[in-house]
Structure 1
Amino acid sequence: MVKAYNPKKTKVTRIGCKARIFFKFVIKEIDQVQVPLFVVDQFHAAHNHCLSPLKSVKEYVDGYENIGASLTYFKNFGREIKCFIGLKDAQMFVDQLETLHETQKGFYYAYGIDQNKCLFRVFWADVVARRNYALYGEAVTFDPTYSTNKYDMIFAPFTGVDHHKKSVTFGASLMSRENDQNFKWIFTKFLDCMGGKEPHCFFTDQCPAMKIAVPATFTTAAHRYCMWHIMKKLPEKVGTTLTKETDFVTRLNSVVWDSDLEPPDFEERWCSLISEFQLEDNEWLQYLFSKRQRWIPAYYRDIPLGCLLRTTQRSRAKQIL
């Protein structure tokens, strides 16, 4: 039996908040195919604690008087569900993936277990995600910045952009650790799922493990760094005085984000700005300039969708599989 990855547990406390999330069922046409989806209708992002099951059902049946059960019943029922699941939660997840594979043509999944038979990495993609990649897979972002609550596993989607400049999902993964072995495995399964077709451009953050895994897995894809992750470090690297009391950030943004610049123009404007603010000795900025081919749009204008997809933040606005 496959068991769940078991990190250090933390206590979760209910505080009686009335925040709610609503889903609605819709039929969406994707590439001339009618696809049933659940989408978020309302969500209060400032709250991230668990909902009371009684309140959830109350919204579903339109009033407490229509529930027909007490809070104690829901607590007992929840306890019975947890006892039923027990240590079988990971196996139930794998079984669900297998059911989807058997019942949905084109559904792909793969998983890995460790020496203790604990599930520690998973990749999956349905037929819509695979069709998305076939149509819009020239540029792909991979964003391992999410984590699950109970198991503390990393959730990392593969995301791109369609011809309407909207985000589309190509696949999703879970992993217990951000290391090069897990990244290599996930990238290998992604390529296997997509028939070995590599993207022209693959965007990630500057994670050291990613710098090992990407070139070890992809042979033709150009590895590019997420501009948002780089630029958000600016106050820390050059000082808050410079970023808050001058126009340095605004002017630097106008240089690094300009996809219409040719490489010589970018280099001239960058060097002029660095000289004006006397930042020639800043090692971080020197390093960024030395790696400019990996994150500045001027150096990958010839890659399809390369300048359109410059940050892994695309995945944050996308409803995941």
Structure 2
Amino acid sequence: MSELDIMQLNKMRKVGISTPQVYGSLADHPGGYERLSFCKKDIYNQIGRQRRLQGLDSKCALEFLNGLKRSDPLMYVGHTVDEENRLQHLFWCDGMMQMEYEVFGDVLAFDATYGKNKYLCPVVVFSGVNHHNHTIVFGSAIVSNETVETYIWVLGQFVEAMKGKSPMSIITDGDVAMKNAIRKVFPNSQHRLCAWHLLRNATTNIKKPAFTKDLRKCMLGEYEIGEFRKKWSEMLNKFELHDHPWVIDLFEKRKMWCTAYIRGAFFGGFRATSRCEGLHSELKKYIHPKINLTEFVQQFYRLVSYMRYREVEADFASIHGDPVPETDYHNLELSGAKCYTKEILKLFRDQLHSSSLMRVIGCKQTFGCCIYIVRKYEMIDKQWHVSYQSTPCDLKCSCLRMESVGIPCDHILAVLVHLNLSELPKCLVLKRWTKVAKDEVKGNVSRHRWDSEKDARYLSLMEYFKELSTLACETYDDYVDKRDKVVNELAEIRGKKL
């Protein structure tokens, strides 16, 4: 029996497919050579049957995805086959994913999850974050292996589907094949390694909890580069790790994980692939390990539909209702509430709360702008510099949090308070976090698919009708009365549409 068939047999057993008993040696067989020949025949028959089923299943999955093109002309499906004409790699994304990438494709996160289908093929999900700070899906792929060539093909399909647009920033785990493929396909994108994976690797390789704690501070602390190098050197001296190969390799890759080097690159709040992990957790609710390829694709779309429904609910919550001020700076807070979605407003409020601890302690006048020196209350060893230009209005802080996250930092807000400004300047409002983030792309597809306000009205009306139906059906008279009224209202609205 070949090594490939043995691997296939082990996969079949892992997912619960019945296989004939295999013995360690000929002497172990009750029937000797005759039993061995029948055993091998059964194994080959089972493997052959599995391969035929996989071929039929792949065909059905492709037919399902291509069938979606009838209702979605922008649907993109790409695949490759091996020398035996069996499906090797599969990539797909629909029109909604492409339109959302056009708006929110500045940050891209992806990694591979395993064992999500009966063939044990890795599943790659491309995700990002929308204006409600929710995870969204840009596309997905099922691959037969995880080589550099495979990831180059997958990323190439992604770029083609997204009309050539590259993300500003990418975050992944430390997979070497992914890293090399990203370097080739997205050479100008800032690639960040997941902080959680690096800290977990530190625990595995160094096995010193105190070291992991100090490494986390070096990794995520808002230090200048010189300050980071000093902290790193002190940490190595403390734990005597100057010659440790893992630590040396980690330091060489510092520009891919250290905040001191990454500051200013927009990651939308991403520091780890935890959103990917959360997405995988949600995916488990829809699928099981024995699911075939066709069922996987169908169930995957159920998850995507649920995520889109959540976005519609968030749109409704952001559009309706007036927020109650929660900070001391009511005018600035209400100004933010007018433009930001509900979830982003919470993050903005956190910065407003924190700004009350900041003090402007000085100002330097330069040609064209003023540089304000900001210090936190009772913290004399740390200060930030905020430049302010009135015409055109522009504010920048040395912490670069606005550039990294897209929400004004507490230092900038402290300067706005110092200047007695009651409106949030447009230069501090990143459109991707606002209620109107999608307005520019609404005209690119049929309006019913992108008009979130219309969808929100629909859901609101449906809730009223559900309650009305429940109560009206209690008695026959109420049922007849409400039915007749609804029929009359429906006839009136239909008349207006003609």
Of residues 189, 204, 217 in structure 1, which corresponds to 2:185?
217
Superposition map of 1:228-307 within 5 A: 228-239=196-207, 242-243=208-209, 247-258=210-221, 260-305=222-267
Normalized per residue, which structure has more strand?
Answer: 1
Q: Is the 8 A contact 2:114 2:120 kept in 1?
A: no
Q: CA deviation at 1:114?
A: 1.0
Of residues 4, 10, 13 in structure 1, which corresponds to 2:12?
10
- Residue 98 of structure 2 aligns to a residue whose secondary structure is helix
Of residues 119, 122, 147 in structure 2, which corresponds to 1:179?
147
Of residues 301, 309, 317 in structure 1, which corresponds to 2:270?
309
After TM superposition, the score normalised by the length of structure 1 is 0.69
Normalized per residue, which structure has more helix?
Answer: 2
Identity of paired residues, percent? 28
Q: CA deviation at 1:205?
A: 2.3
Give the equivalent residue in structure 1 for 2:457.
Answer: none
Give the equivalent residue in structure 2 for 1:170.
Answer: 138
- Residue 128 of structure 1 aligns to a residue whose secondary structure is helix
Q: Is the 8 A contact 1:7 1:151 kept in 2?
A: no
CA RMSD of superposed structures (Å): 2.4
Q: Distance in 1 between matches of 2:71 and 2:132?
A: 31
Q: Does 2:113 match 1:138?
A: no
- Residue 73 of structure 2 aligns to a residue whose secondary structure is coil
The one-letter code matched in structure 2 to 1:128 is M
Q: Structure 2 vs 1, CA of residues 276 and 113 (structure 1 numbering), >3 Å: closer, same or farther?
A: same
- Residue 168 of structure 1 aligns to a residue whose secondary structure is strand
Q: Distance in 2 between matches of 1:112 and 1:304?
A: 34
- Residue 124 of structure 1 aligns to a residue whose secondary structure is strand
Q: Does 2:154 match 1:189?
A: no
Q: CA deviation at 1:124?
A: 0.9
Q: Is the 8 A contact 2:55 2:86 kept in 1?
A: no
Structure ID, larger Rg: 2
Q: CA deviation at 1:7?
A: 4.2
Q: CA deviation at 1:206?
A: 2.4
The one-letter code matched in structure 2 to 1:135 is V
Q: Is the 8 A contact 1:154 1:177 kept in 2?
A: yes
Q: Distance in 2 between matches of 1:268 and 1:174?
A: 44
Q: CA deviation at 1:309?
A: 1.5
Consecutive unaligned residues in structure 2, runs of 5 or more: 1-6, 18-49, 283-302, 305-498
Consecutive unaligned residues in structure 1, runs of 5 or more: 1-5, 15-81
Q: Does 2:84 match 1:104?
A: no
Q: Is the 8 A contact 1:155 1:173 kept in 2?
A: yes
- For residues 141-177 of structure 1, give each alpha carbon's deviation from its aligned partner in whole angstroms, at most 9, with x where no partner exists: 1201333331111101011122333211111111000
Q: Distance in 2 between matches of 1:294 and 1:218?
A: 14
Q: Structure 2 vs 1, CA of residues 7 and 140 (structure 1 numbering), >3 Å: closer, same or farther?
A: farther
The one-letter code matched in structure 1 to 2:170 is F
Q: Structure 2 vs 1, CA of residues 116 and 296 (structure 1 numbering), >3 Å: closer, same or farther?
A: same
- Residue 233 of structure 1 aligns to a residue whose secondary structure is helix
Q: Distance in 2 between matches of 1:305 and 1:224?
A: 9
Q: Is the 8 A contact 2:127 2:135 kept in 1?
A: yes
- For residues 114-146 of structure 1, give each alpha carbon's deviation from its aligned partner in whole angstroms, at most 9, with x where no partner exists: 111111111111222222211211111120133
Q: Distance in 2 between matches of 1:219 and 1:252?
A: 28
Q: Is the 8 A contact 1:7 1:152 kept in 2?
A: no
Q: Distance in 2 between matches of 1:215 and 1:13?
A: 39
Shifted more, 223-232 versus 311-320: the winner is 311-320
Q: Relative contact order, CA 8 A, sep 6+: which one is greater?
A: 1
Q: Structure 2 vs 1, CA of residues 225 and 235 (structure 1 numbering), >3 Å: closer, same or farther?
A: same
Q: Distance in 1 between matches of 2:270 and 2:16?
A: 40
Q: Distance in 1 between matches of 2:206 and 2:61?
A: 46
Q: Distance in 1 between matches of 2:161 and 2:172?
A: 20
Shifted more, 170-179 versus 123-132: the winner is 123-132
- The number of aligned residues is 241
Q: CA deviation at 1:99?
A: 0.4
Give the equivalent residue in structure 1 for 2:336.
Answer: none
Q: Is the 8 A contact 1:153 1:175 kept in 2?
A: yes
Q: Structure 2 vs 1, CA of residues 211 and 86 (structure 1 numbering), >3 Å: closer, same or farther?
A: closer
Give the equivalent residue in structure 2 for 1:127.
Answer: 95
Q: Structure 2 vs 1, CA of residues 87 and 110 (structure 1 numbering), >3 Å: closer, same or farther?
A: closer
Q: Is the 8 A contact 1:155 1:174 kept in 2?
A: yes
Q: Does 2:86 match 1:118?
A: yes
The one-letter code matched in structure 1 to 2:250 is L
The one-letter code matched in structure 1 to 2:163 is G
The one-letter code matched in structure 2 to 1:184 is I
Q: Distance in 2 between matches of 1:262 and 1:167?
A: 31
